[in-house]
């Protein structure tokens, strides 16, 4: 279901993999592709070889780990278009499908909070500490990445809740504000094994417009806690969204947060 509704929810087809661009980009930005582990399948264990992973608990290590990230540290931990490589660019605004398909209601009460969080971009609560949006003009995909401003225990509780969605909200019906009836499916999705705790989802939203045009919105969802810090991202678009950018963004995000913390300890 990849047809386009006339005059609404525009998209681009012909999705292309970003793997080649990522391989070129990571050589310049993060010390080589071995750091990202991009040659492994999505389900493979992909540790961070350049940064020692903190122990799998909410306890902070001695030093500066308990301190809240400074504004400069939080900004430096954000992803950029350079990290993902061409064709990713700085966003030009929220994608039309966000209002058109994610702003919806459902009678499946347990699933409404998920729709609300996806629409408002508040997977780890609001407000985010810092956030950034990136667009892929070749496919019409949009990646939104944010660093949370929440305690590790609260982040872990949210990650646990997200982990229940593939069971509690595996498939449900929703309705948009314009009256479109949507078939929503939620599946667990593998993420690189970085950070202390993580949860990935693959959300698909299918609908048919009044003029019989089929639409399919696909969203990769990821949330990761790295020590005292956490980030969340969505990578979505109309049609089938390539997963390479999601996998790379998770690895880069975890590595960068750990590096920022490491540099902060050295400077103390």
The 10s digit of each residue's pLDDT in 163-214 is: 999 999 999 999 999 999 999 999 999 999 999 999 999 999 999 999 999 9
Over range 220-245, report the average pLDDT: 93
Residue 6 has pLDDT above 90, yes or no: no
pLDDT of residue 145: 97
pLDDT of residue 241: 84
Domain boundaries, the chain: 19-52+67-267
Residue 16 has pLDDT above 80, yes or no: no
pLDDT of residue 21: 40
Determine the topology of domain 19-52+67-267 in CATH: Protein Transport Mog1p; Chain A (3.40.1000)
Residue 253 has pLDDT above 50, yes or no: yes
Question: Measured in Å, how far apart are the chain's first and last C-alpha atoms?
Answer: 54
Residue 215 has pLDDT above 50, yes or no: yes
Distance between CA atoms of residues 88 and 81, nearest Å: 5
**Angle, alpha carbons 251-231-122 (nearest 5°):** 140
pLDDT band of 242, cuts 50, 70, 90? confident
Distance between CA atoms of residues 177 and 97, nearest Å: 13
Over range 216-226, report the average pLDDT: 97
The residue that leads in pLDDT, 1 or 144, is 144
Over range 24-53, report the average pLDDT: 36
pLDDT band of 66, cuts 50, 70, 90? low
Residue 41 has pLDDT above 60, yes or no: no
Of all residues in the chain, the percent with pLDDT exceeding 90 is 64
Over range 124-149, report the average pLDDT: 93
CA trace torsion 35, 36, 37, 41 (10° rounding):
170
Q: Quick: pLDDT tens for 73-97.
A: 999 999 999 999 999 999 989 899 9
Residue 5 has pLDDT above 90, yes or no: no
Of 47-51, 179-183, 192-196, 225-229, where does mean pLDDT reach its minimum?
A: 47-51
pLDDT of residue 48: 34
Distance between CA atoms of residues 27 and 224, nearest Å: 24
- What is the average pLDDT value for the chain, to the nearest integer? 80
pLDDT of residue 240: 72
Residue 49 has pLDDT above 80, yes or no: no
pLDDT of residue 264: 63
Which residue has tokens 């705790």? 197
Residue by residue, DSSP assigns the chain as -----TTSS---------HHHHHHHHHHHSS-HHHHTTTS-TTS----TTSPPPPSSSPPPSSSTTSPPPHHHHHHTS--HHHH-TT-EE--S--HHIIIIISEEES-GGGHHHHHHHHHT-TT-SS-SEEEEEEETTTTEEEEEEE--S-HHHHHHHHHHHHHHHHHTSEEEEEETT--EEEEEEEE----S-SSEEEEEEEEEEEE-TTS-EEEEEEEEEEEEETTEEEEEEEEEESPPPSHHHHHHHHHHHHHHHHHHHHHHHH-
């Amino acid at each position: 279901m990849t047809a386009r509704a006339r005059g609404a929810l525009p998209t681009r087809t012909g999705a292309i993999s970003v793997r080649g661009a990522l391989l070129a980009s990571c050589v310049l930005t993060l010390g080589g592709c071995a750091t990202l582990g991009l040659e492994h399948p999505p389900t493979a264990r992909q540790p961070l070889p350049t940064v020692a992973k903190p122990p799998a608990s909410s306890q902070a290590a001695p030093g500066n780990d308990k301190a809240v990230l400074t504004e400069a540290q939080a900004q430096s931990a954000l992803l950029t278009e350079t990290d993902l490589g061409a064709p990713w660019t700085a966003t030009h605004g929220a994608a039309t499908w966000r209002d058109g398909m994610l702003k919806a209601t459902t009678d499946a009460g347990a699933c409404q909070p998920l729709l609300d969080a996806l629409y408002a971009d508040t997977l780890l609560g609001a407000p985010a500490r810092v956030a950034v949006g990136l667009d892929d003009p070749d496919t019409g995909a949009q990646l939104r990445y944010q660093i949370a401003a929440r305690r590790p225990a609260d982040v872990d509780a949210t990650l646990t809740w997200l982990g229940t969605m593939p069971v509690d909200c595996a498939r449900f019906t929703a309705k948009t504000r314009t009256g479109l009836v949507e078939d929503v499916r939620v599946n667990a999705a593998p993420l690189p094994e970085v950070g202390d705790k993580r949860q990935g989802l693959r959300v698909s939203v299918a609908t048919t417009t009044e003029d019989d045009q089929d639409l399919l919105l696909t969203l990769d969802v990821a949330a990761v806690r790295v020590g005292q810090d956490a980030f969340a991202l969505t990578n979505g678009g109309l049609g089938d969204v390539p997963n390479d950018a999601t996998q790379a963004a998770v690895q880069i995000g975890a590595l960068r947060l750990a590096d920022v913390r490491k540099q902060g300890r050295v400077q103390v």
